[in-house]
Structure 1
Amino acid sequence: MRTIAASVLAAVLILCGLIQPVPRIALAAPDPHSAEHPAADLRLTRDDILTRAKSWIDERVPYSQSAKHTNRYGTYRQDCSGYVSMAWGLKTARWTGDIMEVATRIEKKNLLPGDSLWVHSSSHQHMALFLRWANAAKTQAVVWEEYRTGTVASERTWSADRTAGFTAIRYRNVLEGDAKTCAAVSLDHPRYPEIAPAATGDLVKTAQCLLTSAGFPTGANGPTGTFDDTTSSATKQFQTSRGLPSLGKVDSHTWTALLARGTTPQVQDGASGDAVLRLQRALNAALDAGLELDGRFGANTTAAVKRYQGAHGLSADGIVGPNTWAALQAGK
């Protein structure tokens, strides 16, 4: 009765102009770039998701099932699902057991950067953020993930067997249409033919991303897939930096130099990893070697290395050391 009486009194006072009603405040849409933890699950582009995810990679956030990490995107648990929750802009850090409340299953062949690979069973619970495919067959996934105790958020390439054990899922609030990130661009192609101004397609996107990574940007709009004047200018600048003829088109020498960029550890038969993958790409560009881009240094890669070394006056021992890396990175 007191509550009813109070409501009636308030209504009388408002009608009499003795007090003013409290206006309703319109709630603004959540800002994906807010410095505060989101109050509602955000609607994000794939660029937004990857930018958020990259923050933990850059900050080397250590894995933990109990600790939480705070940065401009909010506060989230430092395990695999907490990491994906942060990247997807979820108001509440999910876990593998309830992530499907905000996601849907998709076919693996349809995975795009910012989607996730997920498993939840009685024996295995894990999820990671999908970045790109490591091979043309789309069986080996490159992911960003919080992996396990003793590691930090990082990029890892999964084997085909590991990838096969996961289900592909997609955040329901992802906004499609953005294409400004090189994370969506594969560097793996069976061949690397010459491309020149006016060319279009995936090879152009690959070249644009490689040039940008080398410090020669091809435009603010990311990999457009069109070999325009900006791309030609960046190509000429890169060629000059490597002592190559400044042609403004990406020939086999330029492809080789671009694809071989990076660290130069000694690798030989039995080795595996990113350096071997870069080597295989560069050999395919230099020799049209037809190597499978699997990051595994086997008999075919050894034969291609010996062939390359012999063609350039190097000791044809099949071992890739400083001299062979130097030749590849110079575009020879």
Structure 2
Amino acid sequence: MTAPLFEEVAPASDCDCPGCVHGRRPSPRPLSGLGRPAARGVVVVAAASAALGAVPSAAALTPGHSPHRQALPGDGEPDTPQGARAPLHGPAGKPVGTAAPTPATTRTEIINRAKIWVAAKVPYSMYAFWSDGYRQDCSGYVSMAWGLPSNEWTGSLAQFGVKITKDQLQPGDILLYHNPDNPEKGSHVVIFGGWTDHTHTYYTAYEQTPPRTRRQATPYAYWSHSDKYVPYRYKGLTKAAAGARPAAGGKAVAAYPGAAYFGPGADNKYVTLLGEMLIARGARGYYATGPGPVWGEADRRATRAFQLAQGWKGADADGIPGRRTWQLLSTGQGKDIGPAAGPASHGVPGYPGRQYFRPGATNDHITRLGAQLVKKGFGRFYAHGPGPHWGESDRRAVEAFQRAQGWRGGAADGYPGPETWRRLFA
């Protein structure tokens, strides 16, 4: 018998997809041509197929590629059950206003949105909906990446694209297989991320599949049912330089990037753009400085003020810009923020909120606070007079004022709340 050849590859990763788990699992049975010892990091290549068993072409691997799904029929390939068409956030969700059925987007935006779920390791589910409103299955993932106004399924995604050929595939296109006889058997859709080699036999696939979203090299067109996958290109695709549309005043505004770009922890150019659009609609009073790329309370309060100006309530006015909020801002539609919606909190006129008075803060509210403290007789704590940078002098002066009101403990912590502000400026 001819001795098997060994080819060195990178050590096994910690990927827990079915194919990799299968490759790492110790087995008393002989190898069937797909060996991947995790400890030694080698792939056994059968030099004599008669000795080790013929390997079907669909299951053959190249170094560095591990099958997410095993391609052999009846080998336990996981199903990808999917939910039906639904609004964002599920059956109880609301349609996205008058948003375009095929919103404009670019290839870069599609791939960037796809990467968000990969980084978040979104679990696969045909029932659950992620924080951005999209269903956590393969078709929900593509709906999110394409920026569709609703959750589609493999039976409806084709209407949002046009058929293309393999040679025309570019990042942001999809490979779709819909099994009309039994949609939960084989039906699947992946996002094309680009070819991995010049032979165009492998490509980078972004896909939502058990156990979670992943990005990996995949044989064209897929590990199984390869002849059933059809390439599609999104109808609303625009060129990279044309991924924006004109807003009021003629300024180009990018298409809605998705809810994941906003909220605590967000730091990106879309936060800055949001703030600029809000200021243009009457939210200047909410920003002591900026706006900037780091999401803050000023962004949330300004967004909520705009949402309230539209007459929205409850979850529709949560301060996080959804697709409808972004559409109104970027097109100059809807109602502006009225003067009555200035920066007041807890019913105290002029009080901007606690976030403006804390270590590291720099804004005009601190200067105004210090000047009023000096006026009230608490200026002895300032060696050089009050200024816009929050410091220990400000905290001690506020604490002294609070103690003068008869407050003790946490009520005299040196940080101005609404009642401190009200008494100080009364």
TM over 0.5: no
Larger Rg over CA atoms:
2
Q: Which structure has more RCO (C-alpha within 8 Å, separation ≥ 6)?
A: 1
What interval of TM-score do these two structures reach, taking the shorter chain for normalisation?
Answer: 0.3 to 0.5
